[in-house]
C-alpha cells in the first residue's frame, strides 16, 4: 500500500477518533457518529486544520533555532524544516480534496439529475488528486530519507569524535 493511501486511511481513522473526542465533554451522550460521508469530510477538514495549525507552530519553532557553526547540523535543521513544510503542503492538498468531495456529495444530494456531470467531475478530481498526492508523498518521503541520512552522518561524526577515531575519508 503506498504512502498516499496509508495517509488517507490514517486520516479517516483519525477523523473518527477526533469525532469521538469532540463529544468527550458531554459524558451523558454517546459520541456523534457521522451520518453521511459529507459529514465525515467535515470532521476530516477540522482535523486537517488542526494538523496544519500544529505544523505551523512547529515550523515557527524550528525557524527560531539559530544556525550553528556545524554545517551538517544546519543541513539537518533545514531538511527538517523542508519536511515539515512538505507535510503541510500535503495536508493542504487533502484539505482541498475534502472540501471538493464534501461539496460534490452535497450537490449530489440536492441535484441527482446531474449525476453524469457530477461523476465526470469526480473522475477528473480523482486523477488530479492521485497525481498531486503521489508528488507530495514522493517529496515528503525523499526529505525523510535525506533527514535520516544526515542524522546518521551527524551521529557517526559525533561518535568518532568522542571515541578519538580519525576520519580517513577527509584526508584523501
Domain ranges of the chain: 3-159
Q: Which residues contact 102 (CB under 8 A, 6 or more apart)?
A: 38, 41, 42, 45
pLDDT (tens digit per residue) in 137-168: 999 999 999 999 999 999 998 999 999 998 76
DSSP letters of 68-92?
-S-HHHHHHHHHHHHHHHHHHHHHH
**pTM for the full model?**
0.72
Q: Mind listing the pLDDT tens digit for each residue in 4-27?
A: 555 444 444 444 444 544 444 444
Amino acid at each position: 500500500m503506498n504512502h498516499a493511501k496509508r495517509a488517507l486511511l490514517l486520516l479517516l481513522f483519525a477523523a473518527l477518533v477526533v469525532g469521538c473526542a469532540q463529544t468527550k465533554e458531554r459524558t451523558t451522550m454517546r459520541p456523534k457518529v457521522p451520518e453521511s460521508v459529507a459529514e465525515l469530510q467535515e470532521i476530516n477538514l477540522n482535523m486537517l486544520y488542526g494538523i496544519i495549525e500544529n505544523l505551523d507552530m512547529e515550523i515557527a519553532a524550528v525557524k527560531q533555532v539559530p544556525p550553528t557553526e556545524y554545517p551538517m547540523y544546519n543541513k539537518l535543521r533545514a531538511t527538517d524544516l523542508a519536511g515539515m513544510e512538505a507535510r503541510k503542503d500535503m495536508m493542504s492538498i487533502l484539505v482541498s480534496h475534502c472540501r471538493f468531495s464534501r461539496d460534490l456529495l452535497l450537490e449530489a444530494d440536492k441535484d441527482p439529475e446531474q449525476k453524469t456531470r457530477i461523476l465526470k467531475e469526480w473522475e477528473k478530481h480523482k486523477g488530479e488528486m492521485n497525481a498531486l498526492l503521489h508528488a507530495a508523498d514522493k517529496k515528503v518521503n525523499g526529505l525523510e530519507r535525506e533527514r535520516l541520512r544526515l542524522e546518521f552522518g551527524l551521529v557517526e561524526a559525533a561518535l568518532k569524535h568522542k571515541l578519538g577515531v580519525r576520519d580517513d575519508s577527509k584526508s584523501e
